[in-house]
Structure 1
Amino acid sequence: MKITSLLAAAAMAATALAMSGTAMAQTGVTTVHSCATKPAPGYAACTALRRTDSAARSFSPAAPSGLSPANLQSAYKLPTAGGSGQTVAIVDAYDDPNAEKDLATYRSTYGLPACTTANGCFKKVNQTGGTSYPTGDTGWSEEISLDIDMVSAVCPSCHILLVEATSPSYANLGTAVNTAVRLGATAVSNSYGGGESSAETSYDSYYNHPGVAITVSSGDSGYGVEYPAASRYVTAVGGTSLRTSSTTRGWTETAWNGAGSGCSAYEAKPSWQHDTSCTRRTVADVSAVADPATGVAVYDTYGESGWLVFGGTSVASPIVAAVYALAGNFSGTSVPASLAYSHTSSLFDVTSGSNGSCGGTYLCTAKTGYDGPTGLGSPNGTGAF
């Protein structure tokens, strides 16, 4: 079968999944967290949600279930070319020994150019930049596969740097972020988090890299703030439900009810945030698809059997990191998160949906303009990044 036929079949299956998202949400979408949901103090958990219902299982490699690269490029009006010379780093804990092999399957299935160690596109290191990798972990490997697949989907020409922390402690994950920047990453995605604590500001220096886009998932437990999304040095990425529609855009988004949001208990408000009901840092800044019912296709074989469908704000963070890389215009900006606040016309404003109870305020309820669950909105091209 020709590649074009494979791509057409994959796109049709993914679009059907997106169109049927509402029905599936009512008729048996089930998920499991890839990582522990209640990490110990000083530790984080990944924010990947794997679909376990039969509708999410693809038995045809030619047509994986879940949103495809073409779907994401269409929904967010992204160029199919760009990102050359940019490196997007993925920071996760533990080792995925099948990462490069699984990435090759994902990219070849969708007709994306090869991204390998041999051609210089892909590189995997430990948290200090070496090649003595940490212990393997099947849960975090799902997160790794999800992250590198989403960067590939949005920015096929970007180089990918996978930095594996020894453990999911903030000290080790933060060391991995520093290594990613030292090795030349222009954007760094972090799909993990944990509850806020008075100690969190002591970790902020790990995420303070002027001119580098540091994206962080906002969490998958609904209304409430997680760290490091709360850090004033990062772009906190919320989550949406993304479905096809008859609108001019061709897609519609609502706030996903699992996305994290709210007012930080400890982090100072950055100068570029001006919402009125939170005197400290407000989460999120921007958003992208995260609802498992409208989830994305991912290929993973370390503990799994191949094609899977994932949701969670773990999807949204690497998507936005890759959009920053496509844009390539943030290196002179101290905190790239600030760019969206002065370029709101280049975002799709998400105006409906809620992620919890907060008295009906914008902190948990989508509305015109800024709100907690979706921030200023989702990418409409690259102009806000």
Structure 2
Amino acid sequence: MRELRPKGRRRSLRRLVAVVFPALALAAAGMATAPSAGAQPATAQPHTSKVAQNAKALTDPQRQIFHSTGKAGQKVPTQRLCATAKPGYAACFAQRRTDIRQQLASALAAAAPTGLSPANLHSAYNLPTTGGSGLTVAIVDAYNDPNAESDLATYRSQFGLSACTKANGCFKQVSQTGSTTSLPTNDSDWGGEEMLDIDMVSAVCPNCSIDLVEANSASDSDLGTAENEAVALGAKFVSNSWGGPEDSSQTSEDTQYFKHPGVAITVSSGDDAYGAEYPATSQYVTAVGGTALTSSSNSRGWTESVWKTSSSEGTGSGCSAYDPKPSWQTDTGCSKRMEADVSAVADPATGVAVYDTYAGGWTLYGGTSASSPIIASVYALAGVPGASDYPSKYP
């Protein structure tokens, strides 16, 4: 039985989601128009100096300026940070632009890195500039980035956001067992993925705390252990920007690693166009696809479309071969789980600004690796899920 909540709370979360989610590209089939009544709204946050500073940074007209990086669907040179996953392992989905350094050099002269900024994302998706205080978004990735905290500091400082450090309790970096001192082996490729992920949480929910949970390897078992650790640490929102081919054995991993009622778990749908990937096909997660996002003179100020570069590059989507269809999904196109559920910007041609020491500093990233932490942070802005709910059904 679903836990009952006062009617006022139900209406409050409906208003929050009504503001946030329609601006995002929802999957057409099987989407509800309102969240579950079991969801809890975010508590009204006092306008502390941190909240006020972040709100000012997100609404400053000078920070709203958008530096175009390409046209929707345009083929641009990128480096995929992770190789194709072998059975039993996952690959990260981050794509780094390799043609952007010269553009960055001129942009830095104007103190504005090329690519979508926090203010751009808030404008495009009509996101509330307050909220998230006291809530934690966890990022699950493989291996260690020793520069994560310092690179995050550079990103937030550049865009006028409040500091988020270990010292002030905003940022935590732990192993899959929760250790803060015995971290996995350093890895520059997954390090770039980690910077994309934590920068996107900062961009969308700058008042949220961030837990970076690093698996010992990219194996399904290590990443699954890290997933459970993220929830054990108390995060109600967990983002995963990785995945791999489906396998019949993964339905057992659903229960082992992703069945966490009361926690909004988001998973990137992949960058190889049509074709389902796991764990995005898990019935317990929100599968996040990708769009191309460009500025426009229309009333919204932005134009958004499905990200598709070619028949083999674009947002992942499709029908699961093994995972059962969730009760809230009513499409007739897939006999089992359909993904994606909701989408946000991922096209490298219209990508996001990221600071990554491994890449030499400011660069531009794309891939559904960007859209998963964006959506996890949107969930955080909307409030804590109901204790027995699987928030994938909210949109």
The amino acid that maps onto 1:264 is S
**1:301-338 per-position Cα deviation (integer Å, ceiling 9, x unaligned):** 0x221001000000000000001111114233521000
Q: How does 1:192-203 map to 2 (within 5 A)?
A: 192-203=242-253
Q: 1:137 aligns with which of 187, 211, 219?
A: 187
Give the Å deviation of 1:201: 1.0
Distance 1:297 1:82 in 2: 23
Query: Alignment partner of 1:147: what SS?
Result: helix
Does 1:30 pair with 2:80?
no
Distance 1:252 1:272 in 2: 29
Distance 1:267 1:139 in 2: 30
Query: Alignment partner of 1:203: what SS?
Result: helix
Give the Å deviation of 1:21: 2.4
Q: 2:215 matched to which residue of 1?
A: 165
Q: 1:90 aligns with which of 111, 133, 139?
A: 139
Q: 2:386 matched to which residue of 1?
A: 331
Q: 1:75 aligns with which of 89, 110, 124?
A: 124
Q: 1:219 matched to which residue of 2?
A: 270
Distance 2:392 2:224 in 1: 19
Distance 2:183 2:224 in 1: 17
Distance 2:124 2:102 in 1: 20
Q: How does 1:336-375 map to 2 (within 5 A)?
A: 336-340=391-395
Q: How does 1:237-256 map to 2 (within 5 A)?
A: 237-256=288-307
Bigger relative CO (Cα 8 Å, ≥ 6 apart)? 2
1:245/1:252 contact within 8 Å kept: yes
Q: 1:310 matched to which residue of 2?
A: 365
Distance 2:364 2:230 in 1: 27
Aligned length: 328
Aligned CA-pair RMSD:
1.6
1:87/1:158 contact within 8 Å kept: yes
Does 1:44 pair with 2:93?
no
The percent of aligned pairs where both chains have the same amino acid is 63
The amino acid that maps onto 1:71 is N
Distance 2:378 2:388 in 1: 16
Distance 2:76 2:62 in 1: 23
Does 1:153 pair with 2:198?
no
The amino acid that maps onto 2:270 is G
**1:119-176 per-position Cα deviation (integer Å, ceiling 9, x unaligned):** 0000000001012000010000000000000000000000000000000111100100
The amino acid that maps onto 1:99 is A
Q: 1:263 matched to which residue of 2?
A: 319
Distance 1:72 1:30 in 2: 23
Q: 1:277 matched to which residue of 2?
A: 333
Does 1:287 pair with 2:334?
no
Query: Alignment partner of 2:151: what SS?
Result: helix
Query: Alignment partner of 2:293: what SS?
Result: strand
**Relative to 1, partners in 2 of residues 1:57 and 1:331: Cα closer, same or farther, differing over 3 Å?**
farther
Distance 2:204 2:245 in 1: 29
The amino acid that maps onto 2:173 is K
1:57/1:309 contact within 8 Å kept: no
Give the Å deviation of 1:54: 3.5
Give the Å deviation of 1:55: 6.4
Query: Alignment partner of 2:144: what SS?
Result: coil
The amino acid that maps onto 2:381 is L
Distance 1:97 1:10 in 2: 29
Q: 2:165 matched to which residue of 1?
A: 116
Q: 2:154 matched to which residue of 1?
A: 105
The amino acid that maps onto 1:223 is Y
Q: 1:189 aligns with which of 230, 239, 254?
A: 239
Q: 2:354 aligns with which of 285, 295, 298?
A: 298
Distance 2:315 2:386 in 1: 28
The amino acid that maps onto 1:194 is G
Query: Alignment partner of 2:272: what SS?
Result: coil
Distance 2:159 2:99 in 1: 24
Query: Alignment partner of 2:266: what SS?
Result: strand
Of 331-340 and 316-325, deviating more is 331-340
Structure 1: tracts of 5 or more residues without a match: 341-385
Q: TM-score, normalised by structure 2?
A: 0.80
Q: How does 1:55-70 map to 2 (within 5 A)?
A: 57-59=103-105, 60=108, 62-70=111-119
Following superposition, which runs of at least 4 residues in structure 1 exceed 6 angstroms of deviation?
none
Query: Alignment partner of 2:194: what SS?
Result: helix
Query: Alignment partner of 2:284: what SS?
Result: coil
**1:342-363 per-position Cα deviation (integer Å, ceiling 9, x unaligned):** xxxxxxxxxxxxxxxxxxxxxx
Distance 2:134 2:387 in 1: 16
Query: Alignment partner of 1:273: what SS?
Result: coil
